[in-house]
Structure 1
Amino acid sequence: MTHHPDPDPQPADGPLTGKIALVAGATRGAGRGIAVELGAAGATVYVTGRTTRARRSEYDRAETIEDTADLVTAAGGHGIAVPTDHLQHDQVRALVERVDREQGRLDVLVNDIWGGERLFAWDTPVWEHDLDNGLRLLRLAVETHAVTSHFALPLLLRHPGGLVVEVTDGTAEYNATRYRNSFFYDLAKTSVLRMAFSLGHELGPRGASAVALTPGWMRSEIMLDAFGVTEETWRDALRDQPHFAISETPRYVGRAVAALAADPDVARFNGTSQSSGGLAQVYGFTDLDGSRPDAWRYLVEVQDTGKPADVTGYR
């Protein structure tokens, strides 16, 4: 292999150098942020999704898994894009077989598959909600995670210390007492929380750990578009939604995953529900701007109580 000088060389190694990660659902949003931060820590990261430079999913958006893989590599890791529909058993089986063939191990599995952004209707009761959309949402948000874990976990368990991260929306404590948008959305996000709990019981005795993880109010590509702003101009959205001041980049939850993956004592979190802001307090990482937003504490103490937007003490 020919080596070319790098004008801006990355560190020779990081806390995850030599580790192999699979981020399922890494086309955009949290999945992309997680993949990039795992790469920044030195990992080889397989990134999957349905949107490639040759074909788009029903989202019909410009972000691709190849772009994510390039960002992983640019951050200092090794990004590998593998087009995968995680509802298709044969595709997921082939994905895991490829990781096994090329690497012989899997250290981190991140289940971030979602795809339901356009399938739920806010505050619409189940009998009025489009049934096909609701059931499709459950398949994309729940069944995909189960399929991926079924095929990937034997490889992850081959070496001790493996980590599974189930990405959801809301902590177990928060979601236990609140209705989340709709019957189908609520069921999907709560199911993923429970997955981490169940996987913790199955993986813990076998030397691995599972953690449910939620970002806060995340400035994903889709969220920024919804507000008509960019990452550079996101504060313009505060005119319409002042509480958006607590928001965070997708890289923040990525840093949470990287910190968990590098923690030799990660088993202390096995089976639990965590948030990006909560883990930032544990591990000391920040968002890209140097702040440390704690969205779920803010939601409980400020937004949900009807107080005016004020992030003082929350980021």
Structure 2
Amino acid sequence: MGLLQDRVVVVTGASRGAGKGIALALGATGAIVYVTGRTRNEGDAPLPGTVQATADAVTAAGGEGIPVYCDHGDDDSVQRLFEQVAVEQGRLDILVNNATSLHDAMTQAGPFWEKPLALTGLWEVGMRSHYSAAWHAAPLLLANGEGLIINTSSFGGRIYMHGPAYGAGKAAVDKMSHDMAIDFRPYNVAVISIWMGLLLTERTQRVFDAEPEKYADLVATAETPQFTGRVIDGLARDSKLMDKSGGVLIGAELAQEYGLTDINGRSPPSHRAFFGDPTTYGKAIVE
């Protein structure tokens, strides 16, 4: 029942960007959404958005937004998050792992050794934090008899994108999704890595606004942050969800399969033809 309606959801890294959009889209389905992040007040971060503002927007969209200030680089903080969910709800239906540390130098041109070593922060808040959240969430998901974990990712897990730090982080998230799915399969919990397209987040909008003519074509094909949330809703309603578990899937293609559009009525394109097929893995299992 929790995957179809009356959902309890945790969306990590939802002060802004993809996480905020996903939280809003799932809130619009009437879900209880725990919104996590570190930003308490406007101005605390270089980009707009706070945990409380997102939670309020989730409630305004028709759900119940619950703000939780959580540092996903700190395991104790993550543990407290899921203890709170357990006490207040007694269950968890969907976990969306989205919290990621993105350094401003990530998109700078040049080889990796000319960029700050701090770019590897996305291995800690990104790769490792996804693992930690899933580990702490597991007892709640197992108790349901069904569940869904989404790890947000990108084509950077397959191609050169922003350099080796970013690529390694995304490739690891994709492989973790595949391997977690094997462990969760006997318990009817699906784990899926979703490749998102170019997102109209606060970060990218700032770039577009600086040179609107240069990026006009990209804006026309970009996804809103809510788009992935709509796709996740579609996955949760899929009667054959477990057939997709362990997969690295392209969000735009899932939307086409489910007959979904973005909130602006557009159908964002898949970038498979340009970037290539999603990563696949061998079927052998070595304990």
Q: Structure 2 residue aligned with 1:143, among 104, 114, 128?
A: 128
Kindly report the root-mean-square deviation, in angstroms, between the aligned alpha carbons of the 2 structures: 2.2
Q: Deviations over 1:78-124 (max 9, x none)?
A: 11000000111111111100000000000000000112142525453
Residue 262 of structure 1 deviates from its aligned partner by 2.4
Structure 2 residue 6 is the aligned partner of structure 1 residue 25: no
Amino acid at match of 1:141: G
Equivalent pair of 1:197/1:271 in contact (CA under 8 Å):
yes
Which of 171, 175, 184 is matched with 1:203 structurally? 184
Give the CA deviation at 1:198.
Answer: 1.1
| Counterpart in the other structure of 1:37 | 25
Distance 1:203 1:123, change over 3 A: farther
Counterpart secondary structure, 2:106? coil
Distance 2:80 2:152 in 1: 23
Find the partner of 1:167 among 145, 152, 176: 152
Q: Provide the rounded CA distance (Å) in 1 between the counterparts of 2:221 and 2:129.
A: 30
Partner of 1:247: 222
- Equivalent position of 2:282 in the other structure: none
Q: Distance in 2 between matches of 1:221 and 1:256?
A: 21
Per-residue CA deviations over 1:138-197 (Å, capped at 9, x if unaligned) read 212211111111111111111122000000122xxx743x21221101111111111111
Q: CA deviation at 1:239?
A: 4.2
Q: In the alignment, residue 250 of structure 2 is paired with which amino acid?
A: S
User: Does residue 289 in structure 1 map to residue 264 in structure 2?
Assistant: yes
Structure 1 letter corresponding to 2:78: V
Local SS of the residue matching 1:212: strand
Aligned positions of 1:171-190 closer than 5 A: 175-176=157-158, 178-190=159-171
Q: Deviations over 1:238-257 (max 9, x none)?
A: 44452332112111111001
Q: Which residue of 1 aligns with 2:255?
A: 280
SS of 1:127's equivalent in the other structure is helix
> How far apart, in 2, do the equivalents of 1:187 and 1:154 lie?
29
Give the distance between the partners of 1:161 and 1:261, measured in 2 at CA.
Answer: 10
Give 1:62 shift: 2.5
Amino acid aligned to 2:57: L
Matched-pair contact (CA < 8 Å) for 2:177–2:247: yes
Report the 3-state secondary structure (helix = DSSP H, G, I; strand = E; otherwise coil) of the residue aligned with 2:143. coil
* Alignment match, 1:268: 243
Give the TM-score normalised by structure 2: 0.89
- Report SS of the residue matched to 1:82: strand
Q: Is this contact kept in 1: 2:103–2:119, CA < 8 A?
A: no
Partner in structure 1 of residue 36 of structure 2: 48
Matching residue of 2:119: 134
Q: C-alpha distance in 2, partners of 1:240/1:167?
A: 24
Instruction: Determine whether 1:72 maps to 2:53.
Output: no
Amino acid at match of 1:256: V
CA deviation string 1:183-228 (max 9, x = no partner):
1011111111111111111111221000001221110111101121
State the SS of the aligned residue for 1:163.
strand
